[in-house]
Amino acid sequence: MEWLNYHHLLYFWMVAREGSIARAGEQLRLAQPTISGQIRMLEDQLGEKLFERSGRNLVMTDVGRLVYEYAEQIFALGREMMDTLKDRPTGRPLRFQVGITDEVSKQIAHRILQPALTLPVPTFVVCREGPLERLLAELATHDIDLVIADAPMTSQVKVKAYNHPLGESSVSICGSPKLASAFRPRFPQSLDGAPFLLPTETKTLRRTLDHWFDKEGLRPRIVAEFDDLALLKTFGEGGAGLFAVPTAVASEVARQYGVAVVGRLDDVREKYYAISVERRLKHPAVLAVLEAAYRMFASGRKKRS
């Protein structure tokens, strides 16, 4: 998996904040050519230009402004986490209770939450799974500290809470090795008439896939529908049909279930959110989880029209 170089991101963030490479160099105590070179390396990694010249001034591109917004959140979270850990007394384990909606992939949830288990302070993690409405009710009563969901909380929900975008991933189609070899040629047109395992119609991913199939004029043959996405993957492991997973964890799913990736649908996106009752986050486990999510999705972020 490709990792973002946070030194490069820091140099970009300082230049964007200070307004020039010269002023950023003074703050960082680095020569201007060094900073320029590091920013070029970041642009090469992201595949996008972050600055444009306007006379003698540097102006952020649209992608640059997007990256700057994420950098602001990342470095603010880092400062908050350090401040919180310095003030936290040692002794008993830190309790971190998190709700995970049914639709979030188990592999995604594990990747996001794993850093909470490796904090400098002993941490006891409690994971609860369920529908968003029930988890938000528990969040409102402070029975859980954070909700991880595949959709933001809407204004119709009468809970005072805040959405924190974590990132997004394209979707990959997987299947048993036999099915993968049969439907990989001519992908994605080969999906027309292909046996498919889909989430039930109440799931966000199902609605997204249905919309994409309609737009592309494809009609897969639906073999079965599932509320439980882990059970869906188990049926996929047995060769019952093709199924969709987040590209961010497609390789992990392939190893775990002994399946293969058929192809990637770049236009089908899954988005992920953390929902909390606090706008300014302080819980060190929450901060660690959000930073991990930003890192996980960093390489997959790109400008979308």
Does residue 220 fall inside a structural domain? yes
Nearby residues of 281 by Cβ (< 8 Å), 6 or more positions away: 77, 80, 164, 287, 290
| Greater pLDDT, 105 or 3 | 105
Does residue 234 fall inside a structural domain? yes
Q: What is the pLDDT of residue 2?
A: 59
Total tally of structural domains belonging to the chain: 3
The lowest-confidence range among 10-24, 112-126, 220-234, 272-286 is: 272-286
pLDDT at 157 over 80: no
Rg (CA), the chain: 22
pLDDT tens digits for 191-205? Answer: 999 999 999 998 989
Confidence of residue 76 (pLDDT cuts 50, 70, 90): confident
Residues 152 and 286 in one domain: yes
Residues 285 and 146 in one domain: yes
Residues 112 and 192 in one domain: no
**What backbone torsions phi and psi does residue 69 show, to the nearest 5 degrees?**
-60, -45
Can you tell me the mean pLDDT for 47-62?
88
Can you tell me the mean pLDDT for 143-159?
83
| Greater pLDDT, 3 or 286 | 286
Residues 40 and 158 in one domain: no
Does residue 148 fall inside a structural domain? yes
Does residue 1 fall inside a structural domain? no
Can you tell me the mean pLDDT for 111-119?
88
Residues 180 and 205 in one domain: yes
What's the predicted TM-score (pTM) here? Answer: 0.66
Residues 208 and 243 in one domain: yes
Out of 69, 86, 103, a domain closes at 86
Does residue 115 fall inside a structural domain? yes
Does residue 294 fall inside a structural domain? yes
**What backbone torsions phi and psi does residue 192 show, to the nearest 5 degrees?**
-65, 115
Other C-beta atoms within 10 Å of 32: how many?
14
Does residue 200 fall inside a structural domain? yes
Residues 55 and 140 in one domain: no
Residues 34 and 79 in one domain: yes
What torsion do the CA atoms of 176, 179, 183, 189 make, to the nearest 10 degrees? -80
Q: How far is CA 71 from CA 1, 9, 158, 189, 268, in A?
A: 20, 7, 31, 38, 25
Confidence of residue 1 (pLDDT cuts 50, 70, 90): very low
Residues 284 and 260 in one domain: no
Q: What is the pLDDT of residue 302?
A: 45
Residues spanned by the domain of 294: 91-168+271-298
Residues 123 and 52 in one domain: no
Other C-beta atoms within 10 Å of 93: how many?
11
Does residue 304 fall inside a structural domain? no
Residues 135 and 179 in one domain: no
Confidence of residue 225 (pLDDT cuts 50, 70, 90): very high
Out of 43, 58, 86, a domain closes at 86
Can you tell me the mean pLDDT for 84-107?
77
Residues 134 and 147 in one domain: yes
Indicate which CATH number applies to the domain containing 282. Answer: 3.40.190.10
Indicate which CATH number applies to the domain containing 42. Answer: 1.10.10.10
Out of 34, 62, 86, a domain closes at 86
Q: Degrees (nearest 5) of the Cα angle 119, 125, 126? A: 165
